[in-house]
Chains A and B, each alone.
Chain A
Amino acid sequence: MASPLTGIHVLDLSWVMVGPASGRYLADLGADVIKVESSRRIDPVRTLPPFKDGKPGPERSVGYHNLNAGKRCIAIDIRKPEGREIVLRLSQWADVVLESFTPGVLDELRLAYSDLSARNPKIVMASTSILGQTGPYAKGTSGVGTMGAAMSGATYQFGWPDRVPNGPWGPWTDAVTPRFIVASILAALHRRARTGQGCYLDFAQAECGIQFMMPAYYEYAAGGRIPERRGGAGSALAAPQGVYPCAGNDRWVAIDASEADRWTALRNLIGATLANREFDTLLGRLRARDRLDRAIAQWTEPRQGEAVEAALQAVGVPAHLVSRGNDLAHDPDLRSAGHFRRIDDPVIGEVEVEGPRAEFDRTPAAATARGPRIGEHTGEILREVCGLAQEDIARLMESGVLA
C-alpha cells in the first residue's frame, strides 16, 4: 500500500537536527530521501550521544538513526566541481531540497535556490538556520537550537522567577522547527500539484520557536507586559495542579485535579488529610495552596510514581509520572502503540528508534528502516538517479569526489 508521499523525492543536504528531522518526517510519510554527506565532513550528529553501548563512533550514534531512519546516503565532496554537478543532477530528480548550511555558504558554492531552480524550476527548496537567510543579523549567525530558543523568548520564560533562566531541555527549536518546515513543504507540494509552481522557503529556528510561545507574545503585544518566568508546573488559576514528589531519586508525578469532579475524586481517594473545609471550593484551595500541596505531597511522597498515576487515573483524576528516558522506553502505552521500532544495523546491531509521529488508516506510514552509513548508497544513486556509467563512477572515486 502506498504511503502519503510515495513517489516524492527529497534531496537532504542538511545536517545535525532540524533538517534531518524534517527529512525523517518526509521519509516516514513515504518519500524517497537521499542524504548528502561527506566522510571528510560527517554529519555532526554522528558525534552526539546516545551511542550504542556508550561507545562513540561515527556509525554508532542512535540519535543519528532516529533522525535519519529510512534515508539513503551518498558521500560526495560538494566543494569540488564534479561534486557540485552531482548535487545539481540530484536536484533535477528531486521534488524537495532541504538544506541547513550557514547562510551564505550555498551561494558561495553556487548551489543556492537560483542555481538549483535553473535546473529544476518546479523544485520546492527549504533552508533552515537560526535567524533565517535575510535580515541584518542573519549572516554570521550559525549555531544550535539552544540559541534558537534563547532568541525566541522561550529560554527567558523557562525557569524560576528568583533564578537565572534555566532554558528548556536540549536544543529546543531543533524539535519545534521541523514541524513548520514539513507543513510548509507539504502545502507547497500541494500547490505545485495544481499549478506546477515550485518555491523557496526560508525558516529561522528562532521564529518557529516564537510560534510555540505565541500566547506570551500576545500578552506583551496587547498590554505591554513582558511575560516572566513562573517556575514549575501549575497555573496560578488552578489548584491542585502541579508536580508532587514520589518515592525514589528525583521522581515526581503530575496531578491536575482543579476541576470540581476531579477534585472530589482526588479528595475521596486521599482521605482525611484533604478533608479540611477550606479545600471545599476552588478559591479556598487557591488561597490555601501551600497547605493543599503539602497535604497531597505527604500522600504521594512514600508511593511509587506509577502507583500514584494508576490510583488516580482509576478514579478519573488526570495524573502521570513525570517521565524520563527509562520510563518512556518501558511505557506500556508506547509499547502497545508500537512507537519503538527495532532496526538492525551492520555496525551496532539491533537497537530501537522511534516510529512515525502519525498513523494513517488507508495510506500507512513507511516501515522504519535504519539510517544509512556514510556513503552507503553512493554507487546505486549515481547509477540509478544520476544515470552515470560505472567508468564515470570509478573516475569520480579516483579523483576523490566520492568521499
Chain B
Amino acid sequence: MLDDIRVLEISAPETMLAGCILAALGADVVVVEPPAGSLGRRLDPYLDDIPGLERSLTWHAMNRNKRAITLDIASADGRAILAQLAAKFDAAIDSVQSRIAAAALDGIDLPDKLVRTRISAFARSGPKSAYAASDLIVMAASGAPGVSGDIDRPPLFFPVPQAMMEAGADAAIATLAGLMARDRDGQGQSAHVSARIAAMMGAMSQMLGPGAGNPEITRSGGSIAIAGVEVPSIYECADGFVLITVAFGPVFGQMTNRLAQWAAREQCLPPEIGEIPWTSFIPDLQQKKRTPAELQALVDGLKKLACNKTKEEFGAAARSLGLLASPVMNMRDVAESPQYRERGLFASTEISGRRVDVPARFAQCNNFTIEVRRPAPALSQHTVEILEGDLGLSRTEIQALFAHGII
C-alpha cells in the first residue's frame, strides 16, 4: 500500500513501532542509528540471555522489514548527510531523546515536501516538555498503572515497555495523515506526538470522570466488589487461567445467564442459582428481590467450574455458548492456537539465523498481504548501499566517513 513511500526513522525506542507499522504496510523504511547502535539494540530480552548489539529480541521484534545505516548526527558531516537524505525521503520520524533535549531533525533545514513526525515524552511546549523521561515515567503519567493491580501492592506495569508502543503507533498515524495532506497539495509539514498523550488512550475515559461530577476511579485489584461480594475476572483453571466477566444489564447480562446455566448443567452451581435472571440482577438486588449471597454462590460456582476445565475446553464452551469469557493465553498458546495459524497471522522470518514464525499480520486484507520481507537489520548493514545509492557517495568518501567514526 505504501510501496511508493520512503521513511527515514531516526531510531529511538519510541520510533520503532511507527517504522514497523509503516514498513509492514509496504513503505521502504531506513533507520538511522549512531555508530554505537540505537538504544533499541540494548533493550532486553536478549537472545539466549546473552547481551549483544545483534541479540536484543526487542530490536528484532520492532525492526522487521527495515534497512539500517549508522550516522553520527552530532558531527557536521553527519548532519549534512542527514539533510541530504531527508530530501530523498517522503517522511521522517524522530524523537526527543530526554538526555539531549532535542530531536535529531531539530535545526536541520528540511525539504518542503517532507512529512516529519516528532515524538516527545510530554506535550511539546508545556511545563513538562523538558522533563527527564523514560518508558516507565511516561507510563506512570498515563493514568493506567495508577488504577492497576492489587491494593496491597504497588501499581502494576507491563513487563514489555508500552510507552514506546503507544507513541510509535500514534506516530505512524500522524505520519500517514501528513502524507494524506501531502497527497492533496504536495506540501509536507511537521506533526507532533506526545508519548504520554498517546499512552492515555489506555486510561480510557477515567480522566474525564471527576470533572463531570464523578468520584475518581481508584485501584480495586483484578476483581470488583458488588454488594460486598468480590467478583474476580480471572479464575484458575485445570491448566492455567481463564477470564470470566460477570456482567449484568440487558445486553451483557444475557451472557451471564448462559454462563450460569452452563455452570449449573456442569453441576458446579445449584440449579436455582443457574436460573436467576442476571440481566436484572442489579435492580433486583436494590429492590431486595435478590441477595448478595446468590452472587457469592455464582462466584463460588464459577471457581469450581473453571477448575474442572482446561483453557481449551473453556474457550470452546465460551464460543459455542456465546460467553463473555476466554482462555488467558500465554505466548506458547498464541503460537499454537489454530485460530491464529489458520487465519494467517504468522509470517516466517529469522532471528540471528533461527527460522521462526512471528505474528506479523496485524491486518488481513483482500488485496494486500503484510509480509516480513527481511528480518531486522544488523548494525550498519545498509550504510554503504544507502550512501552510495541515494547520495551517490564514492567508496573513498564512505571509507573516509568510517575512518572518522561518522558512520
Expressed in whole angstroms, the minimum distance between the Cβ of B38 and any Cβ of chain A is: 15
**For the complex, what is the distance from the CA of A144 to the CA of B137, rounded to whole Å?**
28
Which DSSP category, helix, strand, loop or mixed, fits chain A's interface? mixed
Expressed in whole angstroms, the minimum distance between the Cβ of B223 and any Cβ of chain A is: 9
Q: Which residues of A contact B234 (CB under 8 A)?
A: 155, 164-167
Total interface residues on B, using CB and 8 Å? 157
A160, A226, A319, A354: the one within 8 Å of B331 (CB): A226
The answer to whether the Cβ of B400 comes within 8 Å of any Cβ in the partner chain is: no
Number of A-B contacts (CB under 8 A): 516
Q: Which residues of B contact A215 (CB under 8 A)?
A: 43, 45, 57-58, 61-62, 160-161
Contacts A63-B204, A232-B149, A328-B203; is A164 near B222 (CB within 8 Å)?
yes
**For the complex, what is the distance from the CA of A155 to the CA of B245, rounded to whole Å?**
14
Within 8 A of B (CB), among A281-330: 313, 316-329
A211/B57 in contact, CB under 8 A: no
The answer to whether the Cβ of B123 comes within 8 Å of any Cβ in the partner chain is: yes
Expressed in whole angstroms, the minimum distance between the Cβ of A249 and any Cβ of chain B is: 8
The answer to whether the Cβ of B79 comes within 8 Å of any Cβ in the partner chain is: no
**For the complex, what is the distance from the CA of A214 to the CA of B25, rounded to whole Å?**
17
Q: Which residues of B contact A256 (CB under 8 A)?
A: 134, 136-137
Q: Which residues of A contact B365 (CB under 8 A)?
A: 184, 188, 199-202
B343/A138 in contact, CB under 8 A: yes
Expressed in whole angstroms, the minimum distance between the Cβ of B135 and any Cβ of chain A is: 8
A-B contact pairs, 19 of them (CB 8 A): A50-B214, A52-B213, A62-B208, A157-B160, A168-B202, A169-B202, A176-B169, A193-B180, A202-B363, A203-B362, A211-B359, A218-B45, A218-B358, A222-B47, A222-B351, A325-B209, A333-B128, A360-B192, A362-B187
A130, A183, A254, A358: the one within 8 Å of B191 (CB): A358
**For the complex, what is the distance from the CA of A16 to the CA of B339, rounded to whole Å?**
24
Q: Which residues of B contact A243 (CB under 8 A)?
A: 140, 145, 154-155, 157
The answer to whether the Cβ of A233 comes within 8 Å of any Cβ in the partner chain is: yes
**For the complex, what is the distance from the CA of A180 to the CA of B22, rounded to whole Å?**
10
Contacts A146-B243, A250-B219, A323-B142; is A201 near B363 (CB within 8 Å)?
yes
A221/B233 in contact, CB under 8 A: no
A321/B158 in contact, CB under 8 A: no
A233/B179 in contact, CB under 8 A: no
Q: Size range of the interface on A? A: 35 or more
The answer to whether the Cβ of A104 comes within 8 Å of any Cβ in the partner chain is: no
Q: Which residues of A contact B338 (CB under 8 A)?
A: 135-137
| A73-81, A234-242, A267-275, A386-394 - the one binding chain B | A234-242
Q: Which residues of A contact B92 (CB under 8 A)?
A: none
Expressed in whole angstroms, the minimum distance between the Cβ of A284 and any Cβ of chain B is: 19
**For the complex, what is the distance from the CA of A54 to the CA of B194, rounded to whole Å?**
30
The answer to whether the Cβ of B310 comes within 8 Å of any Cβ in the partner chain is: no
The answer to whether the Cβ of B270 comes within 8 Å of any Cβ in the partner chain is: no
Contacts A146-B245, A160-B153, A325-B206; is A155 near B173 (CB within 8 Å)?
no
Expressed in whole angstroms, the minimum distance between the Cβ of B147 and any Cβ of chain A is: 5
**For the complex, what is the distance from the CA of A246 to the CA of B16, rounded to whole Å?**
34
**For the complex, what is the distance from the CA of A318 to the CA of B137, rounded to whole Å?**
7
Contacts A146-B245, A151-B327, A256-B134; is A334 near B126 (CB within 8 Å)?
yes
